[in-house]
Structure 1
Amino acid sequence: MSMRRALPLLHVAGAVLLTIAVAGPARAQSTGIAACDDFLQKYDTCVTSKLPEAQRATYKAQLDQTRKIWVDMAKNPSAKSTMEGTCKQTMDAIKASLQSFGCSF
């Protein structure tokens, strides 16, 4: 391929990469409950910034599963009323286990 033909492709590829970098990762789905969303954000920050690379996938999978369960629970009005307490209890239980990695909640 000649340089003249390759140059437009390089511009398109650069524009796509710039768009991805500026947009950032997709925003995680909210539960609609402040205590739960706060915990999930802090947990995610801890996992991505403090945990060793070899352990991140396991913790990230747990985070994703917890988020999905909580988002589904929040759709049920009777479950939603108890979720704030559940999320606070979960944060208290998990934060102790993550302190050894230097995470603070």
Structure 2
Amino acid sequence: MKSRLALAIMAGMVVLAPVAAAALDQIGIPECDRFISRYEACVTTKVPATHRVTFSQQVAQLRTSWRALAENPDNRAQLEQICRTQGAQMRRGLEPFGCEF
């Protein structure tokens, strides 16, 4: 009985781990979160493997920067526009790969 309970708990942890990880990756500003999600989808589905690392590093740095800005309540109001502006710049870099978002 205990082993079944332990297995059920472990199975639940395995199922919920990706959800928890995704929640940790969120900026908390819908415009920023949408951009990052779409950017990563494009990179993983359309960008050739030889270029993926560069684009993945760029979005990781951007996520870190935006998350740090979002921690300060004074910045949160401006962060949506920052995400929109920086996102547009980064989106242009993906156009040659057929990414449209």
TM-score range, shorter chain: 0.7 to 0.9
Percent identity between the aligned chains? 35
Distance 1:62 1:88 in 2: 16
Structure 1: any 5+ residue segments left out of the alignment? Answer: 1-18
CA-atom RMSD in angstroms: 2.0
Aligned to 2:82: 86
Structure 1 residue runs of 4+, over 4 Å off? 22-25
Distance 1:72 1:56 in 2: 24
Distance 1:54 1:84, change over 3 A: same
Q: Quote how far apart the aligned CAs of 1:42 are.
A: 0.8
1:68 matched to 2:96? The reply is no
Aligned residues: 87
1:46 matched to 2:42? The reply is yes
Q: What TM-score, normalized to structure 2?
A: 0.76
Aligned to 1:102: 98
2:26 partner amino acid:
S
